[in-house]
Amino acid sequence: MAALIAFYSRAGENYFSGTHRAIAVGNTEKAARLLAELTGAELFHIEQKAPYSDNYDACVAEARRDLRANARPELMALPLAEATGVPLYENALCRARKKKHQAGLPFYERVANVAGAFRVTDPELVERRNIILVDDVLTTGTTAAACAQALLADGAASVFVVTLATVEKDLAPLDAWKEDEQFPDI
């Protein structure tokens, strides 16, 4: 069976180190092409049903609207499900309890904040299945890890996380961290 690399990439005006710059090919597409060349995999470009604006500021406003509506993971997962023939269960997980907003929390607080925060709505749905968990943004991975733990605890055979964006962080070198700081703020 041939490997498939499904990706979403946005061209147009993008943010680079404090400035906006128009690009013809998105960075994720460049990485996907390189991976396909190295592995011989086929490429599938995930297209949005209603693409975001090419203007960076307008795109951010549209993405924030989708975030408030909690629509982004579903908007990304639907084209992936259609392309692969894998069923989409958009409500397979739900919140088991309230959690604080993750933004600005140090890593160790993020881990504690999401521990036990999610549960599987129908364990029979995930039992003995390989799950593709689609998330919109991966910052530290703590939310994705908590979701994966809930799925595995209810019988999922495996969980693969697909994310279409990561948060860029300027990290200090490892030797710059304080010795007594067990979990750096990343």
| Rounded (10°) CA dihedral 161, 110, 17, 163 | 10
Show pLDDT as tens, one digit a residue, over the chain (186 residues): 466 676 778 889 988 778 888 999 888 888 888 888 888 888 877 777 778 889 988 988 887 887 676 665 666 677 777 777 777 777 788 878 777 777 777 888 888 888 888 889 889 888 998 888 877 677 778 888 888 999 999 998 988 887 766 555 554 444 444 444 444 444
Name the pTM for this structure.
Answer: 0.54
Number of other residues whose CB lies within 10 A of the CB of residue 185: 16
Integer Cα distance of 88 and 61 in angstroms: 27
Integer Cα distance of 143 and 110 in angstroms: 8
Please tell me whether residue 172 adopts helix, strand or coil conformation. coil
pLDDT of residue 27: 82
pLDDT of residue 180: 45
Q: Tokens at residue 63, please?
A: 């993405």
